[in-house]
């Protein structure tokens, strides 16, 4: 039976499609754990480093699918995923029966479900497994994977994903990995803007920002954005607000994830009043010079400028 | 010198104005700690229980001020505070020089500053010391006090407040106690609505609420409303959502505090996009049958009803 | 040449797909103007009345396309349009070269563009022509059509559309008809909620609603919702607010159109702060018993209830 | 009886307090209509021009009240009004019994009510009469006055106000003039931001801005901001958007009026979701360089910048 044959075939080759900022260090971690990697990317130069480390580079997702029966994809957005799976040189053109296809991109869960259906028609299994944690966590193998798909395949997926992440959480049917990721990031966005507004108001009312942070963190206002990633310069060290909002999680990426939250909410007719407004705020920021800064720069965005 | 004379006068009588749901248990805790209490309230029946416990009951704040040089006030809103301090039978009509006046009401910090100025003209010291924690914490003496006012008087204030609270935090000049309270509750409101929206969206997308809570709490979406006071029935025990949103912190009270946040933000020209929207949401809830429920019932409010 | 042959073929048969509340009276108006109509609908009972009036009823869009080279479609939402055009029994399965396909559904302009591309591959021309005006305007032939598509075909389209509408406006390339419709309805939604909030606030501040309406309408607050479709009962006659919010434009339909606005804004990265909040408000209303009422019932929704 | 004696005393002297950008041309129009004017302002230089035109200048509001029994005040905000009426050199210090006091400032209606009570205690009558229309309308005598106060006094007030305005509307009890002004400007703000968002979205979706404006104005999206004061450069002539948003109604002033709307809504527990968000948006704009531009510059604020 195909499933057990895959499980027994551990340490046989693994396919990897998408060698960008995140995909590249993830694929390296597979190599480190002893898996032969067969990879491809639309930009040939992205493949060089991995090739030097011993990976085999092929020309298209279809060719990867022809050689490997376990494939991981890590792509920027929904259209790329659709192309890589169902396009003319896509994985499903040559996928083997019983293959395990794991998509770690952050995309609309409706697209994940479509891909799963398309894979099923070819006798393959598709799982969504988006990550939390940025490039640093990808390099150190400390990502968190939120996994959606058939429960019987979770063990097989976890075997691979645990080479690249510290936490691998099973979330439910296909698309729930994406759902969990989107939900977390929506609440994160709300908490961050809320913290920025609150700190700004407190400072205006005469409170010292460090003291206010201490009070919030011992009270019911406490949240990750106040106690771990405070957006006010001078309150914490080692966070983007201490480094002019360089590094971290870019405003553009947050706006993209909130766009997914907005779409899924619209499709499921779910009211998200704060989530929707948070989306619009990060969208405005992207248009006003904050696109490349860490999303905690919303504190700077809201703060009144001198001389006004 | 008045300050030291007061400090030395420890365990002499303490005045208390406002014996409502919060004030009454607070005054009892002063009695328990051995302070003779001289109290008053506009509703005579509110005074009975305290009288039976040994407190002396007088007819007006002015009479209390005539007998005690340390007075605590605990009142519903700004107009009451103005009346109790500066009205025709108010404290300042008979306040002794050097008296310490501590207001634990949650009011507009601008009013606290006015009261402090008025007290100063009479040679008295006014401090704002609003509390966090509800009736339960008031009874068990576990309140948190956020104190604003002259720093030299903080020790004297803390002597009394620590009979009624577990934490007494100095926040800065007059009004900063209110500011800290208002800021915390604004962020709390945002976090709660954010959590409710997120949980609702996640459930609609097929996630189990307990699992989603677990994921949020190990990730960057974590906040007090997700990990300590979850608004979704069935996720946690011992919180209002487990008890049909009875008890806890009423939606009306949250709307009141957000009204204060809104006013201070308007006065200081501070943009509070999410804070302001949160205010409007709790305001709508008050009008639609949620006034008396715990504020975490926003989850119920947002959730689509059957048959729609 | 196909285009001119069509133009000359005036009063030859016209296809019609989708005989719902809107499509049915539209098709009748084509019959009235002397066009033989060949129609179909997924619900056979929808076809009876038209059949009695002389229309020919066929089993599928494909069969309609086999017989008529000018086809109008009027469907509830994007998936229906995709099915009717590109499904296994869809129009494009049997469309004749040079056919003119006009879609009057209100859908995502991105879908209109896809359909236009698919039609072009088959040698046919697709135009989007969503309407404003409800069932009444459809019956009396007073609809407004907003038309997107190749400009050279606009005259041919107008010939048919002017049988069913009083205004036929050319908007630009394919999808701009949808864009115009979506934009108008977003601004309408904002104006209606704004009017409802304003009237409610004014009444609370002691103003007579008729007087306030008069003042707004002679001032800069004037808008269609204040001067033509006032949401406050008793201010105007002949509008839904005068009839317990029966009839008119249902909250569900407005929520649907705002969902389209939200999607197009997300896709084009356009910040719509008020538009997005308006969407969420109508979404909440749908969940709270207002789904079937006219959208001006937002006044009732916002108004505080007795006894709260 | 004092009222009739005032009425008969027409063309006797009229007091005027506050000779700023608005007050100065208003007082000139009183002079033009043959009323002797007795005026004062905190800035002596503001009085020069009026003095040259024949007005008598005094040192304080109290002195004006000592000489004139009809007084008009035009001041920037609530604290100024309180000072001018109830301050140590205020009108009420020397007001004559039966005097008519008309305040044309835009302030919190609660303050208008306080002033009316204070005036009543001195036997005088206070009315609120805020204006719509800017400096241009003040110069040409085309202002609109919205008047609140005792109805029997409206005729007397109108006699004076009609020298300075084209419309004088009686709104109801004291404070309703302010209420009408605040309500109109709140709806105006919502309509303007809505129009800006809609035009921006439409342009992004490929619509020509002039065409979109035409469509909105013949449809249900029509509002004063779309048909009279369009915020998109190039659509209309003679409006601030045609002149780099110079002139017109400054963003700061709109933010101030929305602050009043916010306060009255908070005090009356009225939910204003869009009004409140509009307030925050103009507040942000003030902080980001738009303070001095016309409020229609929100179109520019929302529009995505090049290179982002």
Interface confidence (ipTM) of the complex: 0.92
Q: How far apart are CA D15 and CA D96, in angstroms?
A: 12
Topology at the third CATH level for domain D179-301: 1.10.1040
- Give mean pLDDT, residues D258-276: 95
Helices (H), chain D: 2-8, 23-32, 48-52, 61-67, 78-86, 91-94, 109-121, 135-140, 154-161, 176-204, 209-217, 224-227, 251-267, 273-287, 298-302
Q: Count how many pairs of residues, chain B against chain C, have C-beta atoms within 8 Å.
A: 28
Q: How far apart are CA A15 and CA A7, in angstroms?
A: 15
Q: How far apart are CA D306 and CA D245, in angstroms?
A: 19
Instruction: Return the CATH number of the domain spanning residue range B179-302.
Output: 1.10.1040.10
Residues A156/A133, Cβ–Cβ less than 8 Å: no
pLDDT tens-digit profile of D156-195?
999 999 999 999 999 999 999 999 999 999 999 999 999 9
What is chain C's alpha carbon radius of gyration, rounded to the nearest angstrom? 21
CA distance C273 to chain D (A): 8
| Residues above pLDDT 70, as percent of chain B | 95
Cα angle value D41/D47/D51 (rounded, 5°): 135
CA distance D217 to chain C (A): 9
Q: A250 to each of A219, A246, A282, B67, how far by Cα in Å?
A: 29, 9, 10, 62
Exposed / middle / buried, residue B77 (Cβ in 10 Å: 0-12, 13-18, 19+): middle
The SS3 of residue A126 is: strand
Cβ–Cβ below 8 Å for B286 and D269? yes
Cβ–Cβ below 8 Å for B255 and D270? no
Q: How far apart are CA A186 and CA A170, in angstroms?
A: 20
CA distance B57 to chain A (A): 35
Chain A residues whose CB is inside 8 A of the B274 CB are 190, 193-194, 197, 274, 277-278
Residues C281/D273, Cβ–Cβ less than 8 Å: yes
User: Is residue D2 over pLDDT 50?
Assistant: no
Residues C62/C89, Cβ–Cβ less than 8 Å: yes
- Give mean pLDDT, residues A23-51: 95
More confident residue, C162 or D306: C162
Nearest to A277 among C262, C263, C273 (CB): C273
pLDDT at C11: 79
Domain D2-174 - what CATH class? alpha beta
Cβ–Cβ below 8 Å for A276 and C271? no
Half-sphere exposure for C116 (CA within 13 Å, toward CB): 20
Chain D residues whose CB is inside 8 A of the A274 CB are none
- Give mean pLDDT, residues B174-199: 98
Minimum Cα–Cα distance from A258: chain C residue? C266
Cβ–Cβ below 8 Å for C266 and A262? yes
* Backbone φ and ψ of D84, nearest 5°: -65, -30
- D167 forms bridges with which residues in the sheet? D144
Minimum Cα–Cα distance from A230: chain B residue? B220
**Strand (E) or helix (H) holding C109:** helix C109-121
Minimum Cα–Cα distance from C261: chain A residue? A266
Residues B59/B4, Cβ–Cβ less than 8 Å: no
Cβ–Cβ below 8 Å for B195 and A184? no
Catalytic positions of B, please? 181
Domain A2-173 in CATH 3.40.50.720: yes
Interface of B with C (CB under 8 A): 277, 284, 286-289, 291, 302-305, 308
Q: How far apart are CA D221 and CA D202, in angstroms?
A: 13
pLDDT class of D237 with cuts at 50, 70, 90: very high
Q: Count how many pairs of residues, chain A against chain C, have C-beta atoms within 8 Å.
A: 46
Residue-wise DSSP of C177-221: HHHHHHHHHHHHHHHHHHHHHHHHHHHHTT--HHHHHHHHHTSTT
Nearest to B263 by CA among A195, A201, A281, A220: A201
The full 3-state SS of A214-251, as one line of letters, equals HHHHCCCCCEHHHHCCCCCCCCCCCCHHHHCCCCCCEH
Task: For residue A296, count other CB atoms closer than 10 A to its CB.
Answer: 25
Nearest to B48 by CA among B64, B28, B76, B29: B28
Q: Would you list the domain boundaries of chain C? A: 2-173, 179-302
Answer yes or no: D48 catalytic. no
Q: Which two tokens stand for residue B101?
A: 């006046």
- Give mean pLDDT, residues B76-89: 96
Chain D residues whose CB is inside 8 A of the C270 CB are 197, 200-201, 204, 304
- Give mean pLDDT, residues A5-19: 78
| Residues above pLDDT 90, as percent of chain D | 90
Q: How far apart are CA A102 and CA A84, in angstroms?
A: 12
- Give mean pLDDT, residues A181-207: 97
Note every long-range contact of B110-114, with CB atoms under 8 Å and residues 24 or more positions apart, other chains counting: B110/B175, B110/B264, B110/B267, B111/B78, B111/B81, B111/B82, B112/B148, B112/B174, B112/B175, B112/B177, B112/B178, B113/B174, B113/B175, B114/B82
User: Is residue D307 over pLDDT 60?
Assistant: no
Residues B100/B71, Cβ–Cβ less than 8 Å: yes
pLDDT at C287: 85
pLDDT class of A211 with cuts at 50, 70, 90: very high
Nearest to A101 by CA among A36, A170, A147: A147
User: Is residue A294 over pLDDT 90?
Assistant: yes
Q: Is the pTM of this model over 0.80?
A: yes
Residue-wise DSSP of D21-68: TTHHHHHHHHHHTT--EEEE-SSGGGGHHHHHTT-EE-SSHHHHHHH-
| Residues above pLDDT 70, as percent of chain D | 95
Pairing of strands D70-73, D37-40: unpaired
Among residues A48, A121, A181, A210, which one is catalytic?
A181
More confident residue, D18 or B136: D18
For the packed helices B209-217 and B176-204, what is the interaxial angle rounded to 10 degrees? 130
Chain position carrying tokens 């919180």: B239
* Backbone φ and ψ of D176, nearest 5°: -75, -25
Among residues D67, D97, D142, D181, which one is catalytic?
D181
CA distance D203 to chain A (A): 16
Q: How far apart are CA B145 and CA B177, in angstroms?
A: 8
Chain B residues whose CB is inside 8 A of the A186 CB are 194, 197-198, 201, 221
Residues in chain C predicted with pLDDT less than 50, given as ranges, are 1-4, 7, 306-308
Nearest to C286 among A269, A283, A286 (CB): A269
Q: How far apart are CA B160 and CA B128, in angstroms?
A: 13
Task: For residue C42, count other CB atoms closer than 10 A to its CB.
Answer: 16
Residues C15/C70, Cβ–Cβ less than 8 Å: yes
pLDDT at C308: 37
Q: Count how many pairs of residues, chain B against chain D, have C-beta atoms within 8 Å.
A: 46
- Give mean pLDDT, residues A57-77: 96
Q: How far apart are CA D287 and CA D275, in angstroms?
A: 19
Chain D residues whose CB is inside 8 A of the A284 CB are 302
Minimum Cα–Cα distance from B302: chain C residue? C284
- Give mean pLDDT, residues A66-83: 96
Q: Which two tokens stand for residue D167?
A: 């419309």
Residue-wise DSSP of C67-89: H-SEEEE--SSHHHHHHHHHSTT
pLDDT at B1: 37
Q: D117 to each of B169, D120, D123, how far by Cα in Å?
A: 42, 5, 10
DSSP D194: H
**Strand (E) or helix (H) holding B65:** helix B61-67
User: Is residue B5 over pLDDT 60?
Assistant: no
CA dihedral B9, B13, B17, B23 (to 10 degrees): 100
Mean pLDDT score of chain D, rounded to an integer? 93
Residues C81/C126, Cβ–Cβ less than 8 Å: no
């Amino acid at each position: 039976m195909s499933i057990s044959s895959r499980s027994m075939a551990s340490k046989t080759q693994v396919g990897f499609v998408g060698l960008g900022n995140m995909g590249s260090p993830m694929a390296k971690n597979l190599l480190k754990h002893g898996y032969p990697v067969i990879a491809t990317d639309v930009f040939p130069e992205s493949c060089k480093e991995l090739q030097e480390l011993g990976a085999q580079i092929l020309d298209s997702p279809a060719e990867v699918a022809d050689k490997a029966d376990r494939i991981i994809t890590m792509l920027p957005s929904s259209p790329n995923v659709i192309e890589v799976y169902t396009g003319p040189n896509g994985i499903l053109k040559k996928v083997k029966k019983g293959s395990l296809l794991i998509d770690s991109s952050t995309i609309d869960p409706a697209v994940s479900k479509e891909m799963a259906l398309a894979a099923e028609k070819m006798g393959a299994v598709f799982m969504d497994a988006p990550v939390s944690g940025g490039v640093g966590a990808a390099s150190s193998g400390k990502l968190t994977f939120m996994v959606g798909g058939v429960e019987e395949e979770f063990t097989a997926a976890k075997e691979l994903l645990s080479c690249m992440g510290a936490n691998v959480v099973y979330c439910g049917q296909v698309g729930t990995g994406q759902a969990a990721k989107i939900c977390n990031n929506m609440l994160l966005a709300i908490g961050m803007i809320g913290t920025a507004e609150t700190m700004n108001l407190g400072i205006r009312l005469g409170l010292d920002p460090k003291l206010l942070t201490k009070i919030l963190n011992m009270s019911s206002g406490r949240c990750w954005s106040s106690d771990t990633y405070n957006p006010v310069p001078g309150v914490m060290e080692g966070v983007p607000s201490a480094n002019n909002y360089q590094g971290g999680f870019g405003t553009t990426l947050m706006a993209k994830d909130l766009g997914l939250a907005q779409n899924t909410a619209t499709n499921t007719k779910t009211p998200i009043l704060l989530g929707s407004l948070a989306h619009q705020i990060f969208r405005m920021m992207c248009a006003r010079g904050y696109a490349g800064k860490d999303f905690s720069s919303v504190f700077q965005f809201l703060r009144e400028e001198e001389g006004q």
